[in-house]
C-alpha cells in the first residue's frame, strides 16, 4: 500500500505507513526491555553489574528506546506542520498536547510504575522540542548532534540521550527525509551497512568492557548503532514483498502506541501476580513469553478496533485535548 492510499491522520495529513510499522516494532522491543522493571511492582529492576549479558541485553536493552525517542521528535514536527495549516497559533496546540502528556505520564507513574517514560518525554518536549521550533533546521540538526555526542562522551545512556534524539527526529522531518522515506532504498541500504559495521565492534566492546569504567560508553554506542541498523533494515524490508506482512503485524500496534504502552503495564503486573516469585529469577525465555502474552492480545484488539475506529481510545482522547475539539472516532462507511 503506498503512502498516498493510506487513510489520513485526524490532522488531515496522509499517514506514513513506515512510521506506524517502526513505532509498532519499537513498542514490542520496549516491552521486552520493560517486563522485568514493570514486574518489580512500580520500581525498577536492579541491573546486573555491567548490564545484562544475555541476548536481551545485547539486542534489546537500550536498542529500542532510541527508535521511540526519534519517532517522538518526528511526530512532533509532523503535527506542527499540520497545525500551521489549520490554526493561527500552532505552538499553543503543541504546548497543550505536551501538558496533557505530562498528566498522563504522572498518572501512569504514581498509579502503576515509577519507570514511566511519558513524563520525561513531555518535559523534554516542553524544554527542548517546543523552543526548537523557533530555530532554523540547520541549528536543530547541529544541536541534535551535540546533544547525542555529549552524553556518549560522558558515558551516559538512556534518558540523557532523549533530547538529542528528539531533535534528530525533528530535523529529519524538517529536511524532508520522512516524506521521502517510503520510497528510499539507496540511503537506508548504505546506512544499514554503516550501522551494522559500527554496531558489531561496539557490541563486542560492550561485552569486553563489562564491569569496567568504559562499559557505559560502548553500551550506549552499541545501543544507538543497533537501533539505527534496526530502523534501516526494517525500511529495506518494507521495500520487499514482506511489506504487507510487516504492516499487518506492526502497524496496528504502532497506530495505538499510547494505548498499548499503558495497557502493557497493567497486563505485565497481572502476569506477575499469576506467576509469583521474584522477577530477577525469570529467564530470558520467560520474559519473551510474558511479552508475547501481552503483545498478541494487544495486536488482536488493535486490529479489530482500527477496523471500526480511526484511532485508539487514548489516542483519540489525547487528540481531543490537543485540538480542543472533538475529533471523529468512527470510520465512515
- Interior angle at CA 234, CA 39 and CA 94, nearest 5: 70
Let me know: does 189 contact 236? Beta carbons within 8 Å: yes
pLDDT for residue 2: 38
Determine the angle formed by the axes of helices 215-237 and 17-39, rounding to 10 degrees: 140
Note whether 201 and 102 are within 8 A (CB).
no
194 Cβ partners below 8 Å, 6+ apart? Answer: none
pLDDT of residue 99: 98
- Tell me the domain boundaries of the chain: 3-323
3-state secondary structure the chain: CCHHHCCECCCCCECCHHHHHHHHHHHHHHHHHHHHHHHCCCCCCCCCCCCCCCHHHHHCCCCCHHHHHHHHHHHHHHHHHHHHHHCCCHHHHHHHHHHHHHHHHHHHHHHCCCCCCHHHHHHHHHHHHHHHCCCCHHHHHHHHHHHHHHHHHCCCCCHHHHHHHHHHHHHHHHCCHHHHHCCCCHHHHHHHHHHHHHHHHHHHHHHHCCCCCCHHHHHHHHHHHHHHHHHHHHHHHCCCCCHHHHHHHHHHHHHCHHHHHHHHHHHHHHHHHHHCCCHHHCCHHHHHHHHHHHHHHHHHHHHHHHHHECCCHHHHHHHHHHHCCCCCCECCC
- Set of cell numbers at residue 68: 521511540
d(CA 237, CA 241): 8
What is the model's pLDDT at position 333? 66
Q: Which three cell numbers stand for residue 66?
A: 532510541
Quote the cell numbers at residue 57: 541485553
**Under 8 Å CB-to-CB from 87, ≥6 apart: which residues?**
93, 323
**pLDDT in single tens digits along all 333 residues of the chain:** 333 334 545 445 678 899 999 999 999 999 999 999 999 864 444 444 344 557 787 899 889 999 999 999 999 999 999 999 999 999 999 999 999 999 999 999 999 999 899 999 999 999 999 999 999 999 999 999 999 999 988 877 788 999 999 999 999 999 999 999 888 899 999 999 999 999 999 999 888 877 666 667 888 899 999 999 999 999 999 999 999 999 999 999 999 999 999 999 999 999 988 888 788 888 889 999 999 999 999 999 999 999 999 999 999 999 999 999 999 999 876
> What is the Cα–Cα distance from 9 to 185, expressed in whole angstroms?
25
**Pairwise CA distance, residues 263 & 276, whole Å:** 20
CA distance 186 to 189: 5
CB-based contact 101:125 (threshold 8 Å): yes
Report pLDDT for 306. Answer: 97
The C-alpha atoms of residue 169 and residue 71 are separated, in whole angstroms, by: 6
Residue 212 is predicted with a pLDDT of: 65
Closest to 17 in 3D by CA, of 35, 26, 4, 29: 4
pLDDT score of 211:
64
Q: What is the pLDDT of residue 150?
A: 93
Q: What is the largest CA-CA distance in the chain?
A: 60
pLDDT at res. 52: 53
pLDDT at residue 281, rounded to an integer? 85
Contact (CB, 8 A) for 298 and 31: no
Amino acid at each position: 500500500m503506498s503512502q498516498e492510499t493510506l487513510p489520513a491522520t485526524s490532522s488531515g495529513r496522509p499517514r506514513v505507513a513506515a512510521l506506524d510499522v517502526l513505532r509498532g516494532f519499537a513498542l514490542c522491543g520496549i516491552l521486552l526491555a520493560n517486563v522485568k522493571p514493570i514486574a518489580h511492582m512500580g520500581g525498577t529492576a536492579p541491573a546486573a553489574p555491567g548490564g545484562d549479558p544475555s541476548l536481551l541485553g545485547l539486542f534489546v536493552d537500550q536498542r529500542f528506546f532510541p527508535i521511540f525517542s526519534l519517532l517522538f521528535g518526528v511526530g512532533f514536527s509532523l503535527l506542527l506542520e499540520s497545525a500551521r495549516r489549520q490554526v493561527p497559533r500552532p505552538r499553543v496546540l503543541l504546548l497543550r498536547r505536551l501538558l496533557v502528556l505530562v498528566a498522563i505520564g504522572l498518572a501512569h507513574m504514581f498509579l502503576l510504575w515509577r519507570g514511566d517514560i511519558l513524563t520525561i518525554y513531555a518535559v523534554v518536549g516542553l524544554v527542548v522540542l517546543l523552543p526548537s521550533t523557533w530555530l532554523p533546521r540547520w541549528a536543530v540538526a547541529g544541536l541534535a548532534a551535540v546533544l547525542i555526542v555529549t552524553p556518549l562522551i560522558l558515558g551516559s545512556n538512556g534518558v540523557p540521550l532523549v533530547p538529542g534524539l528528539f531533535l534528530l527526529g525533528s530535523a529529519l522531518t524538517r529536511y524532508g527525509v520522512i516524506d521521502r522515506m517510503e520510497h528510499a532504498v539507496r540511503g537506508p541500504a548504505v546506512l544499514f551497512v554503516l550501522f551494522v559495521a559500527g554496531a558489531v565492534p561496539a557490541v563486542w566492546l560492550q561485552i569486553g568492557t563489562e564491569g569496567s569504567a568504559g562499559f557505559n560508553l560502548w553500551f550506549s554506542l552499541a545501543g544507538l548503532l543497533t537501533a539505527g541498523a534496526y530502523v534501516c533494515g526494517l525500511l529495506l524490508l518494507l521495500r520487499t514483498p514482506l511489506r504487507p506482512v510487516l504492516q499487518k503485524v506492526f502497524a496496528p500496534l504502532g497506530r495505538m502506541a499510547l494505548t498499548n504502552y499503558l495497557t502493557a503495564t497493567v497486563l505485565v503486573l497481572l502476569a506477575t501476580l499469576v506467576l509469583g516469585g521474584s522477577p530477577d529469577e525469570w529467564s530470558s525465555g520467560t520474559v519473551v513469553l510474558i511479552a508475547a502474552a501481552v503483545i498478541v492480545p494487544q495486536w488482536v484488539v488493535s486490529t479489530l478496533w482500527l477496523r471500526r475506529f480511526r484511532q485508539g481510545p487514548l489516542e483519540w482522547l489525547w487528540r481531543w485535548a490537543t485540538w480542543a475539539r472533538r475529533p471523529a472516532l468512527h470510520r465512515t462507511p
